[in-house]
Amino acid sequence: WLLAWMGLEINTMAIIPLMAQQHHPRATEATTKYFLTQATAAAVILFASTTNAWTLGHWNINQTSHPLAITMVTLALALKIGLAPMHFWLPEVLQGLDFTTGLTLSTWQKLAPFALIYQIAPNTNPTLLTALGILSTLVGGWGGLNQTQLRKILAYSSIAHLGWMIIILHFMPSLTLLALATYIIMTSTMFLSFKNMATTKINSLALAWPKTPTLTALTMLCLLSLGGLPPLTGFMPKWLILQELTKQDLPITATIMAMSTLLSLFFYLR
pLDDT of residue 205: 86
Final residue before a domain boundary, out of 70, 101, 122: 122
Are 10 and 141 in the same domain? Answer: no
Are 94 and 154 in the same domain? Answer: no
Tell me how long the chain is.
270
Are 207 and 158 in the same domain? Answer: yes
Are 107 and 147 in the same domain? Answer: no
Are 92 and 160 in the same domain? Answer: no
Are 168 and 197 in the same domain? Answer: yes
165 and 179 in contact (C-beta within 8 Å)?
yes
Question: Domain of 29?
Answer: 1-122
Are 27 and 41 in the same domain? Answer: yes
Are 262 and 136 in the same domain? Answer: yes
Question: Cα separation of 118 and 174, whole Å?
Answer: 10
pLDDT of residue 188: 97
First and final C-alpha spacing in the chain: 44
Are 135 and 147 in the same domain? Answer: yes
Are 141 and 34 in the same domain? Answer: no
Are 139 and 237 in the same domain? Answer: yes
Question: Cα separation of 198 and 188, whole Å?
Answer: 15
Final residue before a domain boundary, out of 96, 122, 148: 122
The total domain count for the chain is 2
Closest Cα partner for 240 from 221, 257, 252, 223? 257
Per-residue pLDDT in tens (0 to 9) along the chain, 270 residues = 999 999 999 999 999 999 999 899 999 999 999 999 999 999 999 999 999 999 999 999 999 999 999 999 999 999 999 999 999 999 999 999 999 999 999 999 999 999 999 999 999 999 999 999 999 999 999 999 989 999 999 999 999 999 999 999 999 999 999 999 999 999 999 999 999 999 999 888 888 889 899 999 999 999 999 999 999 999 999 999 999 999 999 999 999 999 999 999 998 888
Q: List the Cα angle 80/170/35 in 5-degree steps.
A: 0
102 and 94 in contact (C-beta within 8 Å)?
yes
Q: List the Cα angle 117/154/23 in 5-degree steps.
A: 95
Final residue before a domain boundary, out of 105, 122, 139: 122
Query: Which residue spans within 35-182 are E strands per DSSP?
Result: none
Are 41 and 77 in the same domain? Answer: yes
